[in-house]
Amino acid sequence: MLSRLARLATVHETYPVDAFLLTHPPTIRHLSGYFFNFETGPSPFHLLPAALIALPGSDACLIAADTETGQIATLPPPLEIKLYESYVYERPLDFARQFQIRLHEMITQFGLSKACLGVELKALPVLVQQELSNAFPDIRLVDVSKEVEQLRLSKDPDELEMIQKAVHLCDVGQETLLKEARPGISELELFSCVRTAMEAEAGRRFPLMADFVSGPRTGEAGGGPTNRIIETGELILSDLTPCLDGYWGDTCQTMVVGKPSSIQQTMFQRVKEALHLGIQAIRPGVKASAIDQLMRDHLAGLGTYSHHSGHGVGVVYHEEPRIVPYNDLELSPYMVVALEPGIYRDNQGVRLEHVAVVTENGCELLSRFQHRLTAD
């Protein structure tokens, strides 16, 4: 974690700011380890989930709500934590003011009252900026959003471990899908089996984005589970994207309940080949666009997909490297890439997805699940 904070020095080379005031939640997770669970929406008792103040190469401080002590207890000790009063019932709520007071205290403590601050303008509320300007009229702000995002491209060992854990939950979910799928079960019931197995593995709830559709709905590529009853011979498409402590996993499986038709077998086989080709091609120096083209070309004639061929995975579920036609970004070691080619035609869809980490001379799969068209 500390090593990542230190890496802000590279942003400092481009923008010689005096300090960073970072407020974009994925940035905060990435640099400080703090994750605010967004699953039930923004808290009505927070102005922001948190704020991170970091001096290039030295001190850093996280400002967070005093209701978040459970999460904060797990953060590495060198990071200074400043809590502000958030939820109270004995007197009127004053969390916005309390947050600003802490922020201004830290600006003073770090000697930043006339500083140039690197910020993320997209994630900084005008309210915070105005009160900062009122208190410290000489402070200037520089947008460093893009440069800070760049720091996330290659993953550290602890990040790979986090992503591996999230991807493992996908593996558990997809195995459960194969085991529990049967004619007569509803999409929601089947999804519930899958999610329950994943939660039991994690020992708790976590945010879970999912495409979970059956029959003709697979032809639309995605959507949430409904009360639709799954019939013999129908496809089930299960794209599971869990977020464990702020890091995402992501795999997709497609299967048939009962005996697959000839076209289902062909679609599955070709998509599996495309995915395999893509994985084989992953290595340092290869362009994202080349992997995209390889997989699209392999499916040409049989069908197509009007979405990306893949994407990076980390503290955001879709991030660089985007595996898309225009992207000439070259892969490099410790990037994490999800590949997900698909075919959608005649009210049927097949998509298969694996997650891999780029290594020195190829890649290593983080997802262990083996795609199978049927449970047998």
Window 315-354: contact mask with a copy of itself (x via CB under 8 A): -xxxx--x-xxxx---------------------------
Q: Are 359 and 241 in contact (CB under 8 A)?
A: no
Would you count residue 227 as binding a copy of itself (CB under 8 A)?
Answer: yes
- Which residue, 252 or 256, has its beta carbon nearer to a copy of itself? 252
Q: Which residues touch 361 (CB under 8 Å, ≥6 apart)?
A: 283, 284
Q: Are 169 and 201 in contact (CB under 8 A)?
A: yes
Would you count residue 137 as binding a copy of itself (CB under 8 A)?
Answer: no
If residue 337 lies in a helix (H) or strand (E), which one and from where to where? strand 336-339
Window 32-71: contact mask with a copy of itself (x via CB under 8 A): ------xxxxx-xx-x------------------------
Would you count residue 199 as binding a copy of itself (CB under 8 A)?
Answer: yes
Stretch that binds a copy of itself, among 166-174, 203-211, 232-240, 342-350 (CB under 8 A): 203-211
Q: Are 240 and 210 in contact (CB under 8 A)?
A: yes
Torsion of CA 189, 190, 191, 192, to 10 degrees: 50
- Which residue, 77 or 92, has its beta carbon nearer to a copy of itself? 92
Window 280-319: contact mask with a copy of itself (x via CB under 8 A): --------------------------xxx-------xxxx
Instruction: Give the shortest CB-372-to-a copy of itself separation in angstroms.
Output: 25
DSSP string covering 191-236: HHHHHHHHHHHHTS---EEEEEEEGGGGGGS-----SPBP-TT-EE
Q: Are 4 and 31 in contact (CB under 8 A)?
A: yes
Structure tokens at 91: 């007197």
Euclidean distance between CA atoms 333 and 321, whole angstroms: 12
CA angle 122–126–129, rounded 5-degree value: 100
Stretch that binds a copy of itself, among 54-62, 88-96, 175-183, 344-352 (CB under 8 A): 88-96
If residue 8 lies in a helix (H) or strand (E), which one and from where to where? helix 8-14
Q: Are 366 and 336 in contact (CB under 8 A)?
A: yes
Would you count residue 150 as binding a copy of itself (CB under 8 A)?
Answer: no
Would you count residue 189 as binding a copy of itself (CB under 8 A)?
Answer: yes
- DSSP single-letter state for residue 55: -
Instruction: Give the shortest CB-86-to-a copy of itself separation in angstroms.
Output: 12
Would you count residue 365 as binding a copy of itself (CB under 8 A)?
Answer: no
Would you count residue 89 as binding a copy of itself (CB under 8 A)?
Answer: yes
Q: Which residues make up the interface to a copy of itself (CB under 8 A)?
A: 25, 38-42, 44-45, 47, 89-93, 96, 119, 121-127, 129-130, 141, 143, 186, 188-189, 191-192, 195-196, 199-200, 203-205, 207-209, 224-227, 241, 243, 306-308, 316-319, 322, 324-327
